[in-house]
A and B are shown apart, each in its own frame.
Chain A
């Protein structure tokens, strides 16, 4: 079909009679502004072709323009296979349909039937048609405003048409309905075994889980049975050991051994008691030996002590004599040292008296000089203080102070400003008399030439000429004059208060005051320098110096001409000699003291030694009187004999004990005791273990672990067999499913090859080296493949999507045109999202398609589409307005 003429009246926005004609082959641009009715025009074409003229209800009402009740009328002239058709339909009021066909004319429902036959579409059962279901192949090629980027929706009918066209080119690679049914059946079986991601599901997953669980339970049961068998084995061993104890009579033998060891230990204890008794007897004998031995030893010690004390007495006597001789020698030395010291002290007193006399003379002279200096300072300080007082008094006579002067300066400035303002308003008179004669201004003589400023009426008299009265005018003059007078009065009043005649005098008076103050300060500084502690303090110090000087002068005069340094040297020498002799006398005294102490100690020692010697001799004599030395020696001999006998008895007892082997007997007793205890303990433990294990086994045996295991293994074997069977089935289904999917994919790729080949040249304008991949199921664009990457259609930009969708439609249109199924491509405001570069490429692609296809573009971007070189029909120019 190719559209040649469109007429619309009273249809939505297109109220006026609008005629689009002629519409040529190739590309045609229909331009208009927003609201002009471009989209309405496309809707009108859809309506006249695919909606019944008898349409009623809301869908019919929606055709009428807003606010108008006119009958919607649409006409369309089109061409199919070279034959012209003229279609006219009226809707709502008086619905009608008329179709002129080659060689005839149809009306009413015959028109609708003929249109279905010509355009191969399926009309809706009732109501308005929908583009994606009822507009046949035109629904695929006519793109509404704002929908160009949406994925191409290929209806079942259109898919059938396209599939037919593709199969006509590549054959029935898809296998038809039977192939799809088989594929679906296999897919259903696959889904019974596997999820979409290939994980096991359904019965296969269930049996796998069941098998795993049973395997786990079998393992657990086997382990329990193994433990049970191990416990049985343990019980057998326990009972074997108990049986062995009984067979071998181990316990009885151990008891016998222990009894024998105990008897031997009793014998050993008797021998040990014998040793203890012998040891006690020996100790007693040893004690008897110690008494005489000690007495004999003490006698010897007393003899030795008496001899030693006698020797000590002789030594002490000699020492006392030597000490006395030393005392006498030291006494002589002390006397000699005392005499020397006395002479030296006399010489020292003389030299000191001379030295003191000379030092007093030197002090008197220094004091006289100091008294004189202080007196001068006092005189100067008092004079400076008086000058300071005078200057301060002069300064105090001045009434002008800093604030007062500041105020006077302010009043003076105000006065000067007021006079200046008055002068500004005054009348200036310059005069220069050419003749001789006097001049009087305001009654006072004035020079013959000059200028005067007049602020108040004045009379100027010129001799031989007459008088001239000048009365200055100006409204501000009186006020300024009053201000000047007030300022002068204020100044005068202020000057009067400080007893000066003028501001200059006030300034002079202030400067004088400042100078007197500075002078007073300077003189005070001099006083402070001369008498830092004050004049009175200085005067006191002068009086004190004078008093001290007076006291010196009352003392006797010293030897005139005596040298202070010589006196000091003589005094030092006398002093050193006195010290030296004093030290000598101290040493002599110290030596004497020591000698006296030594003599006292020697005397004391002599006395002590005498007492000790007398005591020792007396003691020895007393002891010998009591018992003689001979008697002592005899007693000692008898005790020694008794001790020797006791020792022999002890050695005999120890020998008997040693021969009995005490350690061996003790070890044997320990050994037999431990062995008996261990055997008893082991038997007890074995009996307890046997009882415990027996109880455990009895309890476990009731469960029938082996029987349970048999049952579980039976279940597991059955589950394993089922699993193997199902797994084999699943593997075959999986292999079959994968083989079919693979084959179908290859077939679909082959099936879509004609579309791919037709879209490729168009795509080359836009994105060189790219490839468009269509969905194998619904023929929609699935991916854009470029640079080895598949980019999903949904992930592309809106601009790219609308471009690819348009190009795909052009490819479909080419494919169908070659199968003699021709329909125009209508784009309503498509490519609005394309950038200038892509837009230009799309224009080239459209131009290429327009060589064989009719393409109608509805747009509000006329200037852009003008670049396409296609004829432009302006919608506004197509409206036939009634006058």
Chain B
């Protein structure tokens, strides 16, 4: 009998998004709960035997009771077993989100993997071997017990853990909780479902990170998926299907501006991609422009950002250098001109600590000049 699993991880419910406008950030937070609902619907639709959540269900153990209840509500669409594993964000401490969930009362199909012992599901055809983190950082490999875990001979062995697979990840992960990269072989696992890395990746044979189902950062590592895993029997290779479930798409853009044509290109780059209202973008601009072009770029960004859910623009590297014509347009004589000359001298002096401020000041004066009309 083939076993079908839905592997997901790193929900990090109640994660906040600092640096965004309040409404935009709040929607990102709320959306993570909506994504759980979609996962439940997907699990029900595909008729999986179990949903395995490989840690970091919550951003922190200290979440509100209301948040705990909302998460349980979000799982309702799938009445099969949910196995929830504590991660480094929500370790199984003596008092934790898990103990509080137990006190609040769990739905009968929601199983908390708080102890390192096999959980038999699907009529004992599926043996889930959990490695719960009992503290934020574990120095030892807590999946080691998988090697000697006794499970029924006909059951597929699926490991469930949260941490970094040694020597395999492209970049260091958040926490050191190391997992041996040959764990699936040594423990004779048919599949090792991991959490902690937010992108979807097969990190070792039979070993997968599902990634976070709802993207939460500007990293191009393929987040926003869950994995549908089919295990035909003990020893059979896993069939893994990557299913996108994320609502928001996070992208990073950069553009160098050297002249008016680059401003046109920027306008085109930002111009209305599909589902633009679901896009969270960071835009980095660089280059040196005159004051009039700088003003135009500001207008483009302001206009386009209204379309995006978030368009976060970094123009620190875009230097506004006024030309003589710019300055002459403001004033050719009189004390305003004298002030302009003083500010331009500061803006051009690399040693002047107020160099950037002087540039801003000239831009500001230029804007006032335009506002007054020529």
**Chain B associates with chain A:** yes
Q: Nearest Cβ in chain B — how far from A792, in angstroms? A: 24
A727-740 CB mask vs B (1 if < 8 Å, else 0) is 01101110110011
Chain B hits for A732, CB < 8 A: 357-358, 360-361, 363-364
User: Of A225, A710, A716, which is in contact with the most chain B CB atoms at under 10 Å from its CB?
Assistant: A710
Which of B60, B62, B368 is A185 in contact with, Cβ under 8 Å?
Answer: B368
Cβ < 8 Å to A, chain B residues 5-51 = 14-22, 25
Q: A171 → chain B, closest Cβ, in Å?
A: 8
Find chain B residues with CB under 8 A from A178 CB: 331, 334, 336, 372
Structural contact, B361 and A717, CB atoms closer than 8 A? no
Q: Are B59 and A694 in contact (CB under 8 A)?
A: no
Contacts of B336-374 to chain A: CB distance below 8 A: 336-339, 342-343, 346, 354, 357-358, 360-365, 368-369, 371-372
CB distance from B137 to the nearest CB of A (A): 13
The answer to whether the Cβ of B330 comes within 8 Å of any Cβ in the partner chain is: yes
Partner of A710, one of B59, B61, B96, B361: B59
Say if the beta carbon of B110 comes within 8 Å of chain A. Answer: no
Task: Decide yes or no whether B147 CB sits under 8 A from chain A.
Answer: no
Whether A179 and B331, one on each chain, are in contact in the complex, defined by CB atoms closer than 8 angstroms, is yes
Expressed in whole angstroms, the Cα–Cα distance for A226 and B148 within the complex equals 38
Cross-interface CB contact of B335 among A715, A731, A744, cutoff 8 Å: A744
Within 8 A of B (CB), among A600-625: none
One of B63-71, B201-209, B214-222 contacting the partner:
B63-71
Chain A residues with Cβ below 8 Å from B64 are 702-704, 707-708
Give the Cβ gap from B186 to chain A, nearest Cβ, in Å: 30
A151-181 contact mask (Cβ, 8 Å, vs B): 1 or 0? 0000000000000000000011111101101
Interface residues of A in 215-251 (CB under 8 A from B): 225, 228, 231-232, 235-236, 239
Q: Which residues of B contact A182 (CB under 8 A)?
A: 330-331, 336, 365, 368-369, 372
Cβ of A705 under 8 Å from chain B: yes
Q: Is residue B247 contacting chain A, with contact meaning CB distance below 8 A?
A: no
Q: Which residue of the partner chain A has the closest CB to B61? A: A706
**Is B336 touching A740 in the complex (CB atoms < 8 A)?**
yes
Pick the contact of B14: A228, A235, A236, A707 (CB < 8 A).
A707
* Contacting residues of chain A (173-220) with chain B, CB-CB under 8 angstroms: 173-176, 178-179, 181-183, 185-186, 189
Does more than half of chain B's interface fall in helix, strand or loop, or is it mixed? helix
Residue contact A172 to B62, C-beta cutoff 8 Å? no
Taking A707-B62, A714-B16 as contacts, is the C-beta distance between A179 and B360 under 8 angstroms?
A: no
Q: Is the CB of A175 within 8 A of B25?
A: no
Answer whether residue A698 sits at the interface, using C-beta atoms and an 8 A cutoff: yes
Q: How far is the CA of A716 from the CA of B17 in the complex (A)?
A: 11
CA distance A704 to B14 in the complex (A): 10
* A232 nearest CB across to chain B (Å): 5
Asked if A714 and B17 make an inter-chain contact with CB atoms under 8 angstroms apart, the answer reads: yes
Assess whether B336 is in contact with A707, with CB atoms less than 8 Å apart.
Answer: no
Q: Tell me, yes or no, whether A718 is within 8 Å of chain B by CB.
A: yes
For chain A, the count of residues having a C-beta within 8 Å of the partner chain is 58
- Whether B330 pairs with A735 at a CB distance below 8 angstroms is no
Q: Which of B17, B63, B336, B371 has the most CB of A within 10 A?
A: B336
B100 at the interface (CB under 8 A from A): yes
Q: Are A714 and B25 in contact (CB under 8 A)?
A: yes
How far apart sit A809 and B65, CA to CA, in the bound complex (Å)?
A: 83
* B67-101 contact mask (Cβ, 8 Å, vs A): 1 or 0: 10000000000000000000000000111100010
Chain A residues whose C-beta falls within 8 Å of the C-beta of B330 in the assembled complex: 182
Cα A225 to Cα B372 with chains together (Å): 53
Q: Please report the C-alpha to C-alpha distance between residue A179 and residue B372 in the assembled complex, in whole angstroms.
A: 11
Question: CB within 8 A of A176: which of B61, B334, B363?
Answer: B334
**Are B67 and A728 interface neighbours, CB within 8 A?**
no
**Contact B372 A181, beta carbon cutoff 8 Å:** yes
- Assess whether A462 is interfacial by the CB under 8 Å rule: no
B357–A735 CB distance below 8 A: yes
Contact (Cβ within 8 A) A175 B333? yes
A743-B335 CB under 8 A given contacts A239-B94, A706-B59 = yes
- Of B22, B330, B368, B372, the most chain A CB neighbours within 10 A belong to B368
CA distance A171 to B332 in the complex (A): 13
User: B171 within 8 Å of A by Cβ?
Assistant: no
Residues from chain B with a CB closer than 8 A to the CB of A717 are 18-19
- What B residues does A189 contact at CB under 8 A? 364, 368
Contacts of B346 in A (CB 8 A): 735
* Cβ-defined contact, A743 with B336, below 8 A: yes
Q: Quick one: which of B14, B357, B371, B372 has the most chain A CB within 10 A?
A: B357
Inter-chain CA distance A700–B61, complex, in Å, is 11
Most buried by A among B59, B338, B362, B371: B338
The 9 closest A-B pairs by CB, nearest first: A175-B334, A706-B62, A704-B64, A706-B60, A717-B18, A732-B360, A743-B338, A714-B16, A747-B335
**A-to-B contact residues, CB < 8 Å:** 171-176, 178-179, 181-183, 185-186, 189, 225, 228, 231-232, 235-236, 239, 694, 697-698, 700-711, 713-718, 721, 728-729, 731-733, 735-736, 739-740, 742-744, 746-748
10 residue pairs A–B, Cβ–Cβ below 8 Å: A182-B365, A183-B335, A185-B372, A701-B61, A702-B64, A703-B62, A707-B67, A711-B16, A739-B343, A747-B335
9 other A-B residue contacts (CB within 8 Å) besides A175-B331, A714-B25, A735-B360: A182-B369, A236-B93, A714-B20, A729-B360, A732-B361, A733-B364, A735-B343, A739-B339, A748-B335
